[in-house]
Amino acid sequence: MNDPVLAQYEALPYPLRDPADEKRRLIEGSPSNLKEVDHYVFAGRRDFTRPFRALVAGGGTGDGLIMLAQQLAERGTPGEVVYLDLSAASRQIAEARAAVRGLANIRFLTASLLDLPKGDLGLFDYIDCCGVLHHLEDPAAGLAALKAVMAPEGGMGLMLYGELGRIGVYHAQEMLRQLAPASEPAAARIEAAKRLLAELPETNWLRRNPAVGDWRRDDAGLFDLLLHARDRAYRVPEIVALAAGAGLEIVSFVDPWRYDPDSYLSDAKLKARLAGLPALERAAFAELLAGNIKSHNCYLVARGRAAAALSEPSDSAAIPVLRHDDGPALAKLIRDDRIGLRIDGLEMTFALPRLAGPILARIDGKASLAALQSSLEADLGRRAEATAFARDFAWLYKVMNGIGRMMIRHDVRRG
């Protein structure tokens, strides 16, 4: 075994998971939540009663794989999820997790994603590649290999490290290359890293970085972050270029609010200066402004298809869906017409419209905007008139979609 990345993941599969935990919880995240995939790749119109083929490339210990396979199984979607990873040790954990859940829709393969174009796996409707390409010697070759097996109308969910939010990580990696070189056993390197971390001065960028905490969790997290055999991080324009090089384009970064300068600015003159910029330039600006994006999640489709791939609340037949089907609970989180969150060291609150709570409480993933409006009108009378509803829903949608909680689907039987 001479690939240092493979050697690392054989010795320390990451993230560390205990298959027994599948009995008590499902780990859900981005990319590859099925509602999100429908929204950002299939314009909210994928009929999941039709066969669906997904590839989880660099599936690791199985987080994305298990979520996707479980969600497809719950919908009764025919088809399969192919798991691919170089590391047999990681595959063992992923397989054990699938077994605990009784998932029968997964095919496990031990191979390199670089060899996909030479294989005979056929084309995939959707490809998950989360936290993998930035470990390859040539990430562009990796993305091209994935694109070669993506169906023309399919898409991908990618996660790549974010350069600015990882400030301090590469400083620590550099110090550890001196203190505890790769020639030493992993245990000795981890011990040296812990000793160094215990003594970081207050001014050290890693210590000051509120976005990065993996090194505090477990040894696998510490190794993956600070002693990794190979990793690099990206800024938004580099991801745009990487995608373009493979004949792909970005539909959206998630969560969208983080890539919108207006989320952080209140100065109207500054906002006006940025208003005319294309969305991806605004995203690059927001990344610089926030400084805390440590990983970029985004959905990609073939060049020229991004606008058609994105779902929108375009008409009154559109159906809002909530990531966790938790409308009433979300409505209860609203305080003084605002909803708050804290992410990677940043505290945010978002203003919401008057009808936000009543609308959220009625969203069940089945009711269309028209149905929600009539239900509100019946209960609230004039306050829910069509214009007030349309204005308030558009505002609510921007916030809730922005924070990754609301997506839009369209009734596929009605086209």
Note the residues at the interface with ligand SAM (CB under 6 A). 5, 9, 14-15, 58-60, 63-64, 84-87, 90, 112-114, 130-132, 135-136
Beta carbon of residue 332, minimum distance to ligand SAM (angstroms, whole number) = 32
- CA-based nearest residue to 185, from 329, 370, 8: 8
With a CB cutoff of 8 Å and minimum separation 6, the contacts of 114 are 136, 141, 142, 145
Beta carbon of residue 315, minimum distance to ligand SAM (angstroms, whole number) = 36
Beta carbon of residue 129, minimum distance to ligand SAM (angstroms, whole number) = 7
User: In terms of CB distance, is 33 or 90 closer to ligand SAM?
Assistant: 90
User: In terms of CB distance, is 90 or 311 closer to ligand SAM?
Assistant: 90
Contact 367/358 with Cβ under 8 angstroms? no
User: In terms of CB distance, is 49 or 110 closer to ligand SAM?
Assistant: 110
- The three-class DSSP label of residue 26 is coil
Beta carbon of residue 259, minimum distance to ligand SAM (angstroms, whole number) = 20
Beta carbon of residue 1, minimum distance to ligand SAM (angstroms, whole number) = 12
Rounded-to-integer distance, Cα 107 and Cα 83, Å: 6
User: In terms of CB distance, is 144 or 321 closer to ligand SAM?
Assistant: 144
Rounded-to-integer distance, Cα 179 and Cα 191, Å: 11
What is the DSSP code string of 144-177? HHHHHTEEEEEEEEEEEEBTGGGTTHHHHHHHHH
User: In terms of CB distance, is 15 or 168 closer to ligand SAM?
Assistant: 15
Contact 12/223 with Cβ under 8 angstroms? yes
User: In terms of CB distance, is 113 or 359 closer to ligand SAM?
Assistant: 113
- CA-based nearest residue to 343, from 300, 295, 393: 295
Beta carbon of residue 68, minimum distance to ligand SAM (angstroms, whole number) = 11
